[in-house]
Structure 1
Amino acid sequence: MIGVLRHRDFSLLFWGGLVSVAGDWMLFAVLPYVVYARTGSTIATAGMTVAELAPGIVLGSVAGVLVDRWDRRRLLVVVNLLQGLVVLALLAFVADSSLLPVVYAVAAAQSALSAFSMPAENALLPTLVGPDELVPANALNALNNRVGRLGGLALGPVVYAVGGLGAVTVADAVSFVVAATLVALMRTRPVPPEEPAEPGRFFVEWRDGIALVHRERSIAVLFVVFALMTFGGTMLDPLQAPWVRDVLGGGAGLYALLKAVHAASGIAGSVVVGALGARLSPRLLCGAGSLVACVLLLVRFNVPLVAVAVALSAIAGAVAVGSSVGVETLAQQRVPEPYRGRVFGTLQAMIWAASLLGAVVGGVGAEWIGVVAMLDVASALVGLAGVVVLLALPADRSGAVVR
């Protein structure tokens, strides 16, 4: 696993991502609280979620065309710098708490810029490591995200206590600049496009990317898998706290404990998956991982014992990493390099849409059929994703697109 970091360009991308993720989560740890504290409105806080997702849903597919046209390394540098500049606009909200539209504008702008950076990073990563190193590389990315998230969540409140929202905002902006600097040091060069990019061909290129998803069975199956995993997983999020309180009879301390155990298990799982890397089949990682996760979730939610909840959370975090690393690796393997920006852009837009819909359906559905029943539905969707992978996705050892 550590051997993958010997690739200089991948290592720079890894450390840049870690810094950026930590900076983002420092801000995420305090901004919703500040918004609610200053407005007293749950609607105002929920509006942030819409602002964070909507632009990416609209722009993802279109942005992917430009990701395939442009030098992805330079694109990541520019986007990180722009994100650092945009987040500084929050300093206006620091000075005047009535400027809530500034928060929404920043969230929307960050979402729009992420519509470029996320597919660019996913498209760039397979060019930085060998084909047999994709699983450990994606496992390191999963480790990167989890460590950065935990670090940011821990540092955010501390920085806020010392310097207020302004200090947290500046720290997040600096993290983007550091990430941009590290990516700029990469030596990778863009793969020449099959055809010269012409302004008039923009719609044709966009349509070709969409057509590939419909034409290639394995890619279409992966879209279904991502949709099921995201929709089911996001349905779980708004129901965890009510389940802890109303079913387990616990409080905020138990809720935080379960979250911490799950996160720590995810870090351990990233290390294990990365270490075994080349010996693991991405298809089996995703398929079997999703099925095991489904069983763990169903037992956890239907056997309301604290000890069971803690134990299964410890296992589930590691299993979730294996499943997500598997499906990400499959997508990178089976999408042709010239189309990766368009396919990953469209995929990211679909993931954001499924996230928004899953959160809404989970919250509303629990009011109709109960928290536990809705958690069971969400768990079953996660398991269904595993069934789809194992039954509908052909095994392909070469990593090429399968028709």
Structure 2
Amino acid sequence: METDFSRYLTARVLSVTGAVVAAVAMPVLVYQLTGSAGWTSAVTVAEALPYLVFGLLAGALADRLDRRKMMVALDFTVAAVLLSIPLAWLAGALTAPHVVAVAFATQTAFVFFDAANFGALPALVGKERLTAAYSTLYGRTTVVELVVPGLTGLLVAVVAPAALMAVNALTAVGSAVLLRGIAGSMANPRPVQGAGEIVTDVREGLRFLWQQPIVRTLTLIGALHSVATGAWMAVLVPFADRVLGVAPSGDVRLAAVFTCWGVGAIIASRVLPRLTERWGGARLALAALPLSLLGGVFVLVSGHWLITCVAVVYWGAANSTVVINGITYRQQVCPEDMQSRVNTTARMVAWGLGQPLGAALAGAVAVAAGDPRAGLAAGVVALLVGVLLAWVTPVLRHASLHAG
């Protein structure tokens, strides 16, 4: 089991590394091709749409198919699609629509891969080890998200962004090879015998999500929590420039501001298993949500970049505690044969809707007010609503008392 988990963990780190490289390089590539902010933003739109469009279908299929075979096939597909970019670039035929199409295709593959992954990890390690396993996974991938964007930014300055897509393709192939080597089961395949069965599976996943009071509550509150996260990510650069006096280019302090969130997430991944064992999921959610709100307020009122860095580390830790706790609790109570569809559906609501909504809200408010701080404040208000709902709604309080 340890060998299988090690291979799985390395495969996920490789996949996340490739995804982070693409997330930095693709917008730069499109901007170099067009000089257009509209085309550059189209990359972000193309990457955001697939989870909303295909999430339910992906979850239902991942609960019926062999998850290992599904993930391996998707990795190889991503590698092939990504290689089309450097090949077209070498031929002098690369266009912005081509890059946007690749962004949409690779993120669509990610949705199906992610759906399989939700069910694969509990099946591989067992529910009793799930919190520790997910915390380890979250910690490793957060380190990647902490380090790789800066390195990619440096590489883009000296290497053509199109060529970097070959790196992403190689990480996808490496992930596929590692996943193929896993001996343990990651699924109990059930053949698909008709579209009606898929529709039924989707309904069952939605029904389970709605009929489990704690899971439903954590998911809906998670959406409001994600609004605040999306707001911060949307206004981070203008906030640093106009509030903290940190220039958007050529100022190493901006890299520090970007890095702090990941530092907090790593801290959360380390302490969460002990917190969950001691408090339980419901009680931990009730405690972590107001702490996350407090982190947002600290960032909002900070006026010096060093103070902001400290506040962001704290907020990142509290925020990540809420996120990891919600995911692991959901996976622990969900039946094995429904892991993928339930978790994918919950992710659609909590992240797929909340994150872009928060970014759009913060952008609109910041433009209307002429102040990025106002955009962040709008996200913090949404988080305040989520905290109030968590404490006013009796579901979590009753579960917390029962756990005590």
TM over 0.5: yes
Aligned to 1:3: none
* Partner residue of 1:106 out of 102, 105, 117: 102
> Following superposition of structure 1 onto structure 2, how do residues 105-254 of structure 1 map, counting pairs within 5 Å?
105-160=101-156, 163-189=159-185, 191-192=187-188, 197-199=192-194, 200-252=196-248, 253=251, 254=253
Aligned to 1:380: 381
Would the aligned equivalents of 2:124 and 2:186 in 1 still touch at CA under 8 Å?
Answer: no
Q: Per-residue deviation at 1:243?
A: 1.9
For structure 1, which segment, 33-42 or 260-269, has the greater mean C-alpha deviation from structure 2 after superposition? 260-269
TM-score between the two structures when normalised by the length of structure 1: 0.88
1:41 aligns with 2:36: yes
The secondary structure found in structure 2 opposite 1:188 is coil
Aligned to 2:69: 74
1:33-69 deviations in Å (ceiling 9; x for gaps): 2221221110010000111111221111011111111
Structure 2 distance, partners of 1:151, 1:169, is: 18
CA 1:232–1:206 in 2, change beyond 3 Å: closer, same or farther?
Answer: same
Aligned to 2:311: 312
Amino acid at match of 1:168: L
For structure 1, which segment, 9-18 or 162-171, has the greater mean C-alpha deviation from structure 2 after superposition? 162-171
Amino acid at match of 2:176: A
Q: Per-residue deviation at 1:83?
A: 1.0
1:363 aligns with 2:359: no
Structure 2 distance, partners of 1:111, 1:214, is: 27
CA 1:372–1:139 in 2, change beyond 3 Å: closer, same or farther?
Answer: same
1:316-375 deviations in Å (ceiling 9; x for gaps): 222222222111111112222221221122223332233222221210122234432332
For structure 1, which segment, 11-20 or 216-225, has the greater mean C-alpha deviation from structure 2 after superposition? 216-225
CA 1:314–1:355 in 2, change beyond 3 Å: closer, same or farther?
Answer: closer
Structure 1 distance, partners of 2:83, 2:215, is: 39
Amino acid at match of 2:138: A
Would the aligned equivalents of 2:265 and 2:317 in 1 still touch at CA under 8 Å?
Answer: yes
Would the aligned equivalents of 1:22 and 1:151 in 2 still touch at CA under 8 Å?
Answer: no
For structure 1, which segment, 277-286 or 327-336, has the greater mean C-alpha deviation from structure 2 after superposition? 277-286
Give percent identity, aligned residues only. Answer: 24
Structure 2 distance, partners of 1:151, 1:262, is: 12
Structure 1 distance, partners of 2:400, 2:5, is: 25
Please report the RMSD computed on the Cα atoms of aligned residues, expressed in angstroms. Answer: 2.6
Aligned to 1:22: 17
Q: What is the total number of aligned residue pairs between the two structures? A: 393
Structure 2 distance, partners of 1:242, 1:161, is: 22
1:281 aligns with 2:280: yes
Would the aligned equivalents of 1:234 and 1:355 in 2 still touch at CA under 8 Å?
Answer: yes
Aligned to 1:256: 255
CA 1:67–1:312 in 2, change beyond 3 Å: closer, same or farther?
Answer: same
For structure 1, which segment, 267-276 or 97-106, has the greater mean C-alpha deviation from structure 2 after superposition? 267-276
Would the aligned equivalents of 1:77 and 1:183 in 2 still touch at CA under 8 Å?
Answer: yes
CA 1:323–1:92 in 2, change beyond 3 Å: closer, same or farther?
Answer: same
CA 1:276–1:230 in 2, change beyond 3 Å: closer, same or farther?
Answer: closer
Would the aligned equivalents of 1:56 and 1:115 in 2 still touch at CA under 8 Å?
Answer: yes
Aligned to 1:353: 353
For structure 1, which segment, 327-336 or 349-358, has the greater mean C-alpha deviation from structure 2 after superposition? 349-358
Q: Per-residue deviation at 1:161?
A: 5.2
TM-score between the two structures when normalised by the length of structure 2: 0.88
Q: Per-residue deviation at 1:102?
A: 0.9
Q: Per-residue deviation at 1:288?
A: 2.0
Query: Could you list the runs of 5+ residues in structure 1 that have no partner in the other structure?
Result: 1-5
Would the aligned equivalents of 2:223 and 2:353 in 1 still touch at CA under 8 Å?
Answer: no
The secondary structure found in structure 1 opposite 2:184 is coil
The secondary structure found in structure 2 opposite 1:69 is coil
Structure 1 distance, partners of 2:279, 2:78, is: 36
Would the aligned equivalents of 1:64 and 1:343 in 2 still touch at CA under 8 Å?
Answer: yes
CA 1:134–1:284 in 2, change beyond 3 Å: closer, same or farther?
Answer: farther
The secondary structure found in structure 1 opposite 2:185 is coil
Amino acid at match of 1:363: G
